[in-house]
Amino acid sequence: MSDGSRLILALDLVDVGRALRMAQDISPHCFAIKVNWPIILHAGPQIIREISRFSRVICDLKLADIPNTNRLIVERVRELGAWGVIAHSFVGQDSLRAVVEAAGDMKVFSVVAMSHPGASDLLNRFHDMLIDISMKAGVYGFVAPGNNEAVLRQIRARAGGMKIISPGIGAQGGDEVSAVAAGADYVIVGRKIYQASDPVKVAMEIDQRLSMML
Ligand code: 3DU
């Protein structure tokens, strides 16, 4: 893993062998590797431990349950050695606080807006309230759309110096440099990298483009 990188690899491959090889090859060029339900359901939760041996791992479980259930899940994620975990904030302060308390040293990122078109139906109209709920719950940072500069800039303005990680780059139309310019600290990139004919090269190019902004 690279401490100075602003790239987070979204490892949404369901071929576990390929996913692990790619994680190893790309980890020197990214800050962290994000695992989501597809790879966890195919490989089993131990994939979190396995990748944590050589990289920071962010578990994108988008937790959205009552406090007790959120707590039980986060305790297990912590045992498996993850560096961070992602939870929804719309369920309210108590549910999110349960995540923060169970997380210990793990970083908690809350979703305050999303990158898909349907996010404008409801969720993205409430990002200010979701940021306030998240701050009161004590999260470390936010997940905000890297392909929606207007929303991302508003979230950055309200988030102050808190960390923002942004998906929506590449396959969902966003650009990594524009997202960082609009306020993202890190960009989350999946298909643009793992569907490329040379994923390591694409990851290195993104990493280099972003490092030139520093
Ligand atoms: O579109 P990509 O292939 O670069 O993958 C983006 C990843 O980020 C994927 O794991 C998805 O579940 C996650 N994500 C979003 O794409 C959008 C959000 O608002 C939140 C998370």
What is the pTM assigned to this prediction?
Answer: 0.98
CB of 168 closer than 8 Å to CB of 179: yes
**Mind listing the pLDDT tens digit for each residue in 48-101?**
999 999 999 999 999 999 999 999 999 999 999 999 999 999 999 999 999 999
CA-closest residue to ligand 1 atom 14? 167
Give the pLDDT score at 151. Answer: 98
For residues 149 and 214, the model is more confident at: 149
Q: How far is CA 161 from CA 27, 73, 185, in A?
A: 26, 28, 10
Confidence class for position 1, pLDDT limits 50, 70, 90: confident
Q: Tell whether residue 197 is among the known ligand binding residues.
A: no
Query: SS3 letters for the chain?
Result: CCCCCCEEEECCCCCHHHHHHHHHHHHHHCCEEEEEHHHHHHHCCHHHHHHHCCCCEEEEEEECCCHHHHHHHHHHHHHCCCCEEEEECCCCHHHHHHHHHHHCCCEEEEECCCCCHHHHHCHHHHHHHHHHHHHHHCCCEEECCCCCHHHHHHHHHHHCCCEEEECCECCCCECHHHHHHHCCCEEEECHHHHCCCCHHHHHHHHHHHHHCCC
Give the pLDDT score at 211. Answer: 94
Q: Is 168 in the pocket of ligand 1 (CB under 6 A)?
A: yes
Q: Is the ipTM of this complex over 0.95?
A: yes
**Mind listing the pLDDT tens digit for each residue in 108-166?**
999 999 999 999 999 999 999 999 999 999 999 999 999 999 999 999 999 999 999 99
Give the pLDDT score at 24. Answer: 98
Q: Is 187 in the pocket of ligand 1 (CB under 6 A)?
A: no
Give the pLDDT score at 163. Answer: 98
Q: Tell whether residue 24 is among the known ligand binding residues.
A: no
Give the pLDDT score at 93. Answer: 98
For residues 214 and 154, the model is more confident at: 154
Q: Does residue 214 register a pLDDT over 80?
A: no
Give the pLDDT score at 199. Answer: 98
Mean pLDDT confidence for 101-111: 98
The single-letter code of the amino acid at 5 is S
Q: What value, to the nearest 5°, has the Cα angle with vertex 72 and ends 136 and 102?
A: 40
Task: Note if 62 is an active site residue.
Answer: yes
Whole-angstrom distance, CA of residue 198 vs CA of residue 176: 18
Confidence class for position 104, pLDDT limits 50, 70, 90: very high
Bridging pattern class, strands 84-88 and 107-111: parallel
Q: Which tokens hold the place of 38? A: 């597809």
Q: Does residue 30 register a pLDDT over 90?
A: yes
